Amino acid sequence: MKTIKILFADDDLKYSMLLKRFLETEGYEVTYAGNGNIALQQFPLIKPDLVLLDINMPELNGFEVAAKIRKQNHQVLIFFLSDRSDKADRLKGFDLQANDYLAKPFYPEELLARIRERFQCVDNRIETEIYTFGKSTFNYTTNEIRTGNNKVLITSRQAEILRILAKNLHVPVDREILLKHVWGASSYANSLALNVQITYLRKALRNDSSVKIESLMKKGYVLHIEKG
């Protein structure tokens, strides 16, 4: 069974470390973020199965983080853990497509029970996501590209880019879409970073001469297969 990965964002360090250790002793892989901005930076790198969010955090609050995550991913589970227990806050949390809302204080065992309930069919829920093009197979779940006997591991950010291109095989993808999905915003620095990541992806795919990532007049990219 795949280890369930949890991204836990809360600015109360002492409380968070206690809850983090509790969840880790139960077999979960937990990454801690001390504020909303850090949580958003970690999200595409970790690819968590569950996000635990406090609401009152500096820089970005939990509601803002959840809204941004939902723009990127509609499948990941989101639980709010907050001392804000008003009906309006709960409704807002569920309006943001949260999967659960626990009011502090709560027993860690209660959170554990809710996590286990959500993941009781985890083997069926977390499926390996694989794309095949040309002579290559791209496993998005493990960030691995295989071409014959050759195996190349790419970064999570490169995997996100390749996933979008693979889902749109032979269809141009606008740069703005890639920038907003992978980096969260369009900027000159992010645009340069995209150029660099495309270069690395081309190198990762060089074992398959039939696969090309073509630039389209600096407007976007298209993944296509050349027929031999």
Predicted confidence at residue 43, as pLDDT, reads 93
Q: Which of 134, 185, 188 is nearest to 162 (CA)?
A: 134
Judged against a pLDDT cut of 90, whether residue 39 lies above it is answered with yes
| CA distance linking residue 219 with residue 181, whole number of Å | 16
Q: For residue 207, which amino acid is it? A: N
Which two tokens mark 94?
């569920």
Which two tokens mark 63?
């509601």
What is the arithmetic mean of pLDDT over 200-206?
94
Alpha carbon 216 to its chain's center: 27
Strand order in the sheet with 77-82: 29-33, 5-9, 50-53, 77-82, 100-103
Predicted confidence at residue 78, as pLDDT, reads 92
Judged against a pLDDT cut of 80, whether residue 185 lies above it is answered with no
Predicted confidence at residue 46, as pLDDT, reads 87
Predicted confidence at residue 72, as pLDDT, reads 83
Domains of the chain: 5-125 (3.40.50.2300), 130-225 (1.10.10.10)
pLDDT tens-digit readout, 86-141: 788 888 888 888 888 888 888 899 899 889 888 874 444 445 788 999 999 999 87
- Cα–Cα distances (Å) from 96 to 8, 79, 118, 182, 203, in that order, read 17, 11, 18, 21, 39
Whole-number mean pLDDT of the chain? 87
Beta strands 136-139 and 130-133, pairing class: antiparallel
| CA distance linking residue 143 with residue 138, whole number of Å | 7
| CA distance linking residue 50 with residue 53, whole number of Å | 10
What is the arithmetic mean of pLDDT over 37-50?
92
